[in-house]
Amino acid sequence: MNYLEVYNEWIENPYFDDETKQELKGIKDDDNEIKERFYKSLEFGTAGLRGVIGAGTNRMNIYTVRKATQGLANYIIKAGKSDKGVAIAYDSRHMSPEFADEAALCLNANGIKAYVFESLRPTPELSFAVRELDCVAGINVTASHNPPKYNGYKVYWEDGAQITPPNDVGIMAEVSAVSDWNTVKTMDKAEACEKGLYNQIGKEIDDKYIEALKSQVIHWDAIKEMGDKITVVYTPLHGTGNIPARRVLEEIGFKNVYVVPEQELPDGDFPTVSYPNPEAAEAFELALKLAKEKDADIVLATDPDADRLGVYVKDEKSGEYLTLTGNMSGSLLAEYELSQRKERDGSLPSDGKLIKTIVTSNLADAVAANYNIDVIECLTGFKYIGQQILGFEQTGVGEYLFGFEESYGCLIGTHARDKDAIVATMALCEAAAYYKTQGKTLWDVMLDMYDRYGYYKDGIQSVTMEGMEGLEKIQNIMDELRNNPPKEFCGYKVLAFRDYKKDTITDLTTNEVKPTGLPESNVLYFDMSDNAWMCVRPSGTEPKIKFYYGVVGESLDDAEAKSKAMGEAVSKFVDAL
């Protein structure tokens, strides 16, 4: 059927409720809007669903959520694991509680138990709950840092990580196979509760999660000494982080924690920001104002589902607050965790591993080399870091020490298998306390790292291209780079070209070709002279194409200049196509 036929089916089919039909009748004279809502089904990809809330096959609504859940239920049943339950969490976005219940009741109608959090919870606690409750899967209703009009649906497997091969492919196939809306099951909530299929969870999991975080503290002594001398400003950006972040900091001993009052309470409109993303400077405006009033040492912001942490630290010399990118904060935490574990234990495990994604700073490699730790690279997406942890457990070979990705996500410990901004909040405050005992700020430590390892500077440009035309342009950019890889870029010679879709690494000097060793993915990577690099990939969750790049300078100013030049070269390349 074409998009108009599908549109009319939704209006005429008694399966869809009157509210949905009224919304659709309101756009009957807007052909473009009808097309955008119905020209395709909202794609269930490797990250699950994410889209604009509204009626239509290409929108997030109770029907697309039910359909996705029916596919998941079918996969669980065929895998012979329907006797294990599914944990479900949700964030502060519009329709999140409703979508969580719709998912639970669809599972229940298929004979599968659901364990639903009583109120909003952070993503990493959902990952923790999956393993703690011995579930077969988890569902998290969240659109992370997207604008208010979005919501999403992430699926986790029994190891607590987001789905990876072969489960992701199998679940996607089952979701795609659901073609008749009348085959999508649901049931009455009261009946589901009475039959023990719908179960509410909360405090018991909260307590165990917080204890798991506290077990990662290395320097209780430093916190005891400096807990009342470190001032922290924190904002949950109207999301899920407020209660757990404040709780863990209070319980380990930090006395001066100030929460931005305007952003404290959950609110799906995110009224104080246009884009609730801790990577955006705008998200920190209110926090930095409060930081100056309180003379804070560290300023922290978690995104709405609290899996990513943005950071500003005070430079005592200038009195200014300076941002740490995800690469910087991740590398700083890697340095702290590795150095202090080595100091505490006398040595690090001989098979210890630091895991990072292919678009993450090479500063991580320099840190790991300093501590004689192997680095494992994986594809973009923290689920691949979780997959590596599972591999260590299954084989008994390898010990996870730290993992992070450039997009403000890291994991300390293995209590969860997704990035955890709550444990990162705790660890950064602990690090601030420890270094303060040495008369250093976190910015001082960052400068020390640059002096020791090199002035690494990493950047990213995300180019938004919405709609059908945008998808075509993104594909054209990837085709051009794949079929005609540049031999030089921004004055750097391209030494090697990695095509993760073709599983090839081509040495452009010798023309030798070898495999990447990673799963197939539509990602291109260019290794360049002077330790420069660039990676290009379409976003898996948003209508964007992303250019990641890194340089190494002789000083902070030199690195900044080289990075700026690289960014300008990327813009010129995109504009020329």
Sheet hosting strand 409-411, strand order edge to edge: 374-378, 352-357, 399-405, 409-411
For the chain, residues classed under CATH 3.30.310.50 are 455-576
pLDDT, position 326: 96
From the list 234, 402, 381, the residue with the least C-alpha distance to 302 is 234
In whole angstroms, what is the distance from residue 231 CA to residue 237 CA?
A: 19
Tell me: the pLDDT tens digits for 256-279?
Answer: 999 999 999 999 999 999 889 999
Q: What is the CA radius of gyration of the chain?
A: 24
Residue 138: enclosing H or E segment and its boundaries?
strand 137-141
CATH of domain 455-576: 3.30.310.50
In whole angstroms, what is the distance from residue 297 CA to residue 314 CA?
A: 6
Task: Please give the DSSP secondary-structure letter assigned to residue 201.
Answer: E
Tell me: the pLDDT tens digits for 501-528?
Answer: 999 999 999 999 999 999 899 999 999 9
Give the 3-state secondary structure of residue 531: helix
Which stretches does DSSP call E strand in 95-136? 114-117
Look at 437 and 165; give whichever has higher pLDDT.
Answer: 437
Task: Please name the fold of domain 209-453.
Answer: Alpha-D-Glucose-1,6-Bisphosphate; Chain A, domain 3 (3.40.120)
19: Cβ contacts below 8 Å, ≥ 6 apart: none
Q: What value does the mean pLDDT take over residues 555-569?
A: 96
Please report which confidence band the pLDDT of residue 447 belongs to, taking 50, 70 and 90 as the band edges.
very high
Degrees (nearest 5) of the Cα angle 544, 548, 549? 155
Please report which confidence band the pLDDT of residue 478 belongs to, taking 50, 70 and 90 as the band edges.
very high
40-201 to CATH, choices 3.30.365.10, 3.40.50.670, 2.60.40.640, 3.40.120.10? 3.40.120.10
Q: Which pTM value belongs to this model? A: 0.94
For the chain, residues classed under CATH 3.40.120.10 are 40-201, 209-453
pLDDT, position 275: 85
Identity at 395, one-letter amino acid code: T
Active site residues: 144
Q: Which residues of 517-529 are buried (b: 16+ CB within 10 A; e: fewer)?
A: eeeebebbbbbbe
From the list 547, 406, 362, 384, the residue with the least C-alpha distance to 463 is 547
pLDDT, position 186: 97
pLDDT, position 125: 98
Residue at token pair 């009195």: 319
pLDDT, position 472: 83
Please report which confidence band the pLDDT of residue 130 belongs to, taking 50, 70 and 90 as the band edges.
very high
Give the 3-state secondary structure of residue 122: coil
Asked whether the predicted pLDDT for residue 469 surpasses 90, the reply is no
3-state secondary structure 295-341: CCCEEEEECCCCCCEEEEEECCCCCCEEEECHHHHHHHHHHHHHHHH
pLDDT, position 430: 98
Asked whether the predicted pLDDT for residue 540 surpasses 80, the reply is no
Please report which confidence band the pLDDT of residue 45 belongs to, taking 50, 70 and 90 as the band edges.
confident
- Where residue 295 falls (left for φ over 0; alpha for ψ -120 to 50; beta otherwise) is left
Please report which confidence band the pLDDT of residue 129 belongs to, taking 50, 70 and 90 as the band edges.
very high
Identity at 17, one-letter amino acid code: D
Tell me: the pLDDT tens digits for 360-416?
Answer: 999 999 999 999 999 999 998 999 999 999 999 999 999 999 999 999 999 999 999
Q: What value does the mean pLDDT take over residues 531-537?
A: 95
Q: What value does the mean pLDDT take over residues 564-571?
A: 94
Identity at 272, one-letter amino acid code: T
pLDDT, position 389: 97
Percent of the chain topping pLDDT 70: 100
Average pLDDT, rounded, for the chain: 95
Tell me: the pLDDT tens digits for 51-63?
Answer: 999 999 999 999 9
Please report which confidence band the pLDDT of residue 541 belongs to, taking 50, 70 and 90 as the band edges.
low
